[in-house]
Amino acid sequence: MTVWRVSSRGQSSLELLVLTVVMLLFIAVVGGSAFLTFSESVSSSMAMDSLRNIQTGINHSYALGPGNVLIVEIALPASVSDSNVGGLSGREVGFDLSSPFGVRNYFVYLDANVKGSLPVKGGAYKIKLVSLGSDVNISVVSG
């Protein structure tokens, strides 16, 4: 009858290998989670910067009076899934962003009623804002 013996050096090597694999898996999970959080933070920041540019342009166009035309530049993240012009009050613009954590809504309130449309894909755009008296019309010039 043959008896197999495990040497203590071999057992130590196996334990070290298992411990290394567990630590690498832990680091991969933490790193992946950090990357997703960072990516969502960047997308959120881009969307809010774009909305603030649009908000400032609309408020200035409205304040300067009928017939005034302004062009604003925005950069949207690739995670944009929808846009909203007007909202329930008629004085909102916003974007919906898709992420692994779900859909998030970002919007800003405006001084004027708004009509028109905004892009629904990521990228750089030029947005034309035309004051029509009590309303401001939004349209995409290029992008």
User: Dihedral angle at the C-alpha atoms of 121, 101, 40, 38, nearest 10 degrees?
Assistant: -150
Rounded CA-CA distance 28/34 in Å is 10
> What does the angle CA 108 – CA 52 – CA 107 come to, to the nearest 5 degrees?
25
State pLDDT tens for residues 111-135.
999 999 999 998 999 999 999 988 9
Rounded CA-CA distance 118/116 in Å is 7
Residue 3 resides in a domain: no
The strand pairing partners of 41, in sequence order, are none
Q: In 3-state terms, what secondary structure has residue 103?
A: strand
Q: Is the pLDDT of residue 8 over 80?
A: no
Domain that holds residue 125: 10-142
Do residues 51 and 75 touch, judged by C-beta distance below 8 A? no
What domain count does the chain have? 1
State pLDDT tens for residues 32-43.
888 888 888 888
- Range 7-20 average pLDDT: 79
Residue 2 resides in a domain: no
